[in-house]
Structure 1
């Protein structure tokens, strides 16, 4: 039986592992975190039709149904307000695409983890990989080893697998900085974002709002108890003082409230009532060049390891699930492992790099203009 090793238990890594297990392939997943709850997973993602199609391929029917049951609708127009909540426009250009449904990242990861407890090994930080004539051998930081026929690097934007395959690749900062958080969904706040999404355009700041309203509460379904919420992201120019790196993480709510002082009280109260624990501020990074083909024959990558995107309506997650579907199909149906991975690599690099470029262009629609320089 073919044996596949997956490095990383994020969305893409768990999806491909579910797909391979469903196909009867021996798959083992190695994750550097100590357990499934060790790391905050972010907020909602908009999963498009091709993302759901990939899930249908990779997941058993009961898990696909569970993902759908805990997703949320995006019915209704996107809204554009000014900072005093005067409606400027509404339409389909604001928010995720109309064919999307939203999922909470943390809850969704638990859906993908279900039934995989005996195949996911935590506390396994990758140290090295050796490719042999017939397979791969990996060594972890704790000194343990594993062997298989194929290695899939699904270990995220700062992928160790990518560093081993393409050590000359580096990072550049995206022209984007934001503070983000979530606030329990109430009727008062629902009116701010009753459709696909909302943008509030303030002076040199844009506040993006998105509703994550679960069709069915996750808790009673055996998933992490999570209440419906409004996800907010305050975008600022990268040269804004609040966007500069700091040695100590500030109170995100305090920073945001200072920035939006004088805005409508519904907006300031939205920030005041947000969850302090699940908040962050920072600037995303991109690879300094498009990913190119690598020489390894039995090592491949998926998701951000192969095409690091910035947040763009679930663009990265949808593309990672597409990777998982393609790898599942090729490793299941093709007898020649090396040829199947080469074919996957060629196709994935084309659409993956296109997804990165789309995200880079799309961000220009949301980054606010810098304030004019003051005369000396």
Structure 2
């Protein structure tokens, strides 16, 4: 394999590039964002054993150790409280699985990009690609072109590569909207989520809390300084004014504070002290049909570009990392993209279905609009 062109500098694309670079393959990454800091990257994600195994296979040792050093441990059972923080249950089924360790998406992306800076070009939005007798050529909206032996779509749920490969595959907006954000971790808030995760149930509303407490502060290791935090997520009742998609959603903190105003003071305080710049309301997008394959010989995809999962599955990033590991092995080995495609889609579509089924346990019952201001 002479050159691999990767579209997208997200978690899976960077992991693939690290594995190819380690194997001596010429790999170049083209990212539509203007830079690594161009937009908010999200919150903590739980990496399972197979996610860490994929990282160990692809990353150089120093990058893998850096990922471990900036991860967070999940110890103790998950907790279920009512809205006045009376304990209802404690058990392993609440929160991420026991073998998970959490990473912060923004910090983790910087870890994965380590050593690849001279191989990433930003501000490159894919316009088209074509297969040639010599390989594949990609054209960007700025008029520039690149060529390679294989092109990989690692450009996320709104993948330009998928749109060009499979223009008949569209989107559906999930029925439920979610408000999410983060609040700096303090002793007061650590008590709310000292296990693997916390679920707080009130009338018609479920609030989910997760702790991102870095083993080592990222700033001490040359990464973006980031405080440990509590990530919170609340599904918005469908009959609430903010429970429908909008081009201009209201501020997340205001919506959540209103809905939880009669909850325990520590919960109210957690939301009141949240980081306003990193708190949002959003509605998940899913593909309107599963991807079952494509005809291109030298173009493939991985991660959300091929199988867009809901966050409720807790498996999207892990599945994407395994895709990267599998594709890297194929590209370095026999180059059989058809075999990779079959394995990846079977695994990925199963992950999508699991995320849809798992969402049911988080769905709140309807509340009357009188609960809103």
TM-score range normalised by the length of the shorter chain: over 0.9
- For 2:67, what is the secondary structure of its paired residue? helix
Q: Which string of whole-angstrom CA distances, capped at 9 and with x for unpartnered residues, describes residues 163-200 of structure 1? A: 11110011112232110000011111111100110110
Corresponding residue SS for 1:173 = strand
Scaled by the length of structure 1, what TM-score is found? 0.96
SS in structure 1 at match of 2:133: coil
Whole-Å separation in 2 of the counterparts to 1:247 and 1:51:
35
Quick one: distance in 2 between partners of 1:373 and 1:32?
41
**Counterpart for residue 84 of structure 2:** 84
2:56 paired residue number: 56
- Which of structure 1's runs of 4+ aligned residues deviate more than 4 A? none
The CA deviation at 1:134 is 3.0
The aligned residue for residue 371 of structure 1 is 367
Cα deviation, 1:80-105, whole Å, max 9, x if unaligned, reads 00111111101000111110000000
1:198 and 2:198 are equivalent in the alignment: yes
Aligned to 2:285: 285
Structure 1 contact 19–59 (Cα < 8 Å) conserved? yes
Aligned to 1:357: 353
Size of the aligned set, in residue pairs, is 370
- Measured in 2, the distance between the counterparts of 1:185 and 1:240 equals 29
Matches within 5 A, 1:1-376: 2-312=2-312, 314-334=314-334, 337=335, 340-371=336-367
- Looking at structure 1, the residues matched to 369 and 116 of structure 2 have their Cα atoms a distance apart, in angstroms, of 55
Partner SS state of residue 243, structure 1: coil
**Alignment partners' CA distance in 2, 1:153 and 1:238:** 34
Report the CA distance between 1:203 and its aligned residue: 1.0
Gaps of 5+ in 1: none
Using the TM superposition, give the Cα deviation of residue 201 of structure 1 relative to its aligned residue in structure 2, in angstroms.
0.6
Alignment root-mean-square deviation, CA: 1.3
Shift of 1:241: 2.0
Question: What are structure 2's unaligned runs of at least 5 residues?
Answer: none
Q: 1:180 touches 1:231 (CA, 8 Å); kept in 2?
A: yes
- CA distance in 2: counterparts of 1:3 and 1:265, whole angstroms: 57
Whether contact under 8 Å (2:313, 2:359) holds in the other structure is: no
Aligned 8 A contact 1:33 1:124 in 2: yes
Cα drift, residue 16 of structure 1: 0.4
Instruction: Please give the secondary structure, in 1, of the residue aligned with 2:175.
Output: coil
Q: Distance in 2 between matches of 1:238 and 1:282?
A: 13
In the superposition, the TM-score normalised over structure 2's length comes to 0.97
